[in-house]
Amino acid sequence: MIFAPLLGLLAFFAQINNQPNTPLVSATNPFYLSCTYWDGKSFTDPASRSAKTPISESKNGYRAYGEVQVMAKDGDCENTTTLFVAKGKDVEFKVVYRTKDGGGNGIRMVGWSPNGQRLLAELNKWAYFSDTGFEGRPLVYNSADDSTTEFTDLDKTVLKYFGSECDFEHSVRRWQSDSQIVVRISQAPASDEYEQHFCVKSPMLLLYDLDKRAISSLTRATKKFSK
């Protein structure tokens, strides 16, 4: 795979860094792990590194964690994100999911479903050498059939809920039931690249049904949301 030169890489991170309310890429956080990061004065030279999430344990004794490895070579960077699961306290971890798509990617653990059967994580993907920002998506491991599903259609499902013209960002928050998760919808960062249409003025929570692949409203008392 061919990557852009180092100059393009640094230009990308400069754009990310200048976007308001956008988390910075990191040298230690597996959700934003990058080959280069802002040290307070400038971006560091690209370097290979890795990071792991804390281990998440279900009430059924299953354990899981995510690991991100960043490879840097001649100014080019590529991330690999892997999810590991062990089916018991004294059982070895095995790979249940891995992505290596030639770009930036990371992972964070959200937790196990109330019945302890499903693990919810959130993938973070971005394009190196681009100012498109970050894209989160749910990743669910199901211990019942030892399967892992990346829910790539969440964007389209949310878009259908609000309408065809809508700029938004979403992030996974928590489990609501054994089949439903809570998704936070917020306004997308402002852009001069195109005419934007916003569907939310302030953050709101919606329910996403993993089995039905459907979005519905979350009927809860109004509360103050934190990032």
Angle at 142 (CA atoms; ends 68, 175), nearest 5 degrees: 85
pLDDT at 2: 34
Q: Are strands 63-73 and 94-99 parallel, antiparallel or unpaired?
A: unpaired
Q: How far apart are CA 45 and CA 173, in angstroms?
A: 33
Last residue of a domain, one of 121, 137, 166: 121
pLDDT at 223: 43
pLDDT at 12: 53
For the chain, the domain total comes to 2
Q: Do residues 19 and 86 share a domain?
A: yes
Q: Do residues 214 and 110 share a domain?
A: no
Structural domain for 52, as ranges = 1-121
Going 111 to 118 to 94 to 100, the CA torsion angle's sign is negative
- What does the CA dihedral 17, 11, 186, 179 come to, rounded to 10 degrees? -110
Tokens of 121: 């994580």
pLDDT at 221: 33
Q: Do residues 97 and 21 share a domain?
A: yes
**Mean pLDDT, 10 residues at a time, the chain of 227 residues:** 45 51 76 88 89 97 97 88 95 96 91 98 85 84 97 90 80 96 83 67 91 86 38
pLDDT at 222: 36
pLDDT at 179: 97
